[in-house]
Amino acid sequence: MRFEHLGAQPRIHPDAVVSPTAVVSGDVTIGAGCQVLHGAVITAEGGPITLGEYVIVMENALIRASATHPVHIGSHVLVGPTASLSGAVVDDEVFLATGVRVFNGARIGTRSEVRIGAIVHLRTVLPPDSVVPIGWVAVGDPARVLSPDRHEEIWALQKELDFPGYVFGLDRETPDLMIQLTERYGAALARHRDDRRLD
């Protein structure tokens, strides 16, 4: 399903194959040889998404851009089933395995592997040829790759990256943080009410 969002329509190369149950919405460019499988969602919510050539987006993966965090995925990249990528840059020849989470402002270098269930956190930079092991967390710039049992170390690095401030423009110490966050984000998401289905 293709949708016009905020006046922008997806541009899909004629050699690309997009499943009829995938959703492609807004300012999205999909290059030659790409495959977007069933249930995948590629949604440009105010900022562009670009997929290079021969990108495979597997079942139920989510790729999301915002006005402040566009997405660029290079060529020959595999985005595994149920992976989620928001506002990040992925260079060429990267493998993002099943269930991976990549957050806003992250950059994943060429030929890197982010293995099953791993996380590349907010504003984290992985150099070329990096590996994030199964279930591990990459955080910071330069990235530190830590096992999930090292929560205190992860949090010490993650807290400084300021998720609510960087993504939503809100101070973490705001007493009604979740009220402001959900109302602001909800208003932005409500812009989908005016989307127009193109197919």
Question: Which member of 5, 13, 38, 69 is catalytic?
Answer: 69
Place of tokens 């499988």: 37
Pair 38, 19: CB distance under 8 Å: yes
CA distances from 71 to 29, 117, 179 (A): 10, 20, 27
Residue 78 makes CB contacts below 8 A (sequence gap 6+) with 55, 56, 58, 94, 95, 96
Whether 192 sits among the annotated catalytic residues: the reply is: no
Nearest to 124 by CA among 111, 113, 137, 110: 137
Query: Do residues 130 and 113 make contact, with C-beta atoms less than 8 angstroms apart?
Result: yes
Using DSSP's 3-state secondary structure scheme, residue 107 falls into strand
Contact between 121 and 100 (Cβ < 8 Å):
no
Alpha helices in 11-162 (DSSP H): 151-161
CA distances from 167 to 56, 65, 126, 185, 194 (A): 27, 11, 20, 10, 24
Kindly list the catalytic residues.
Answer: 69
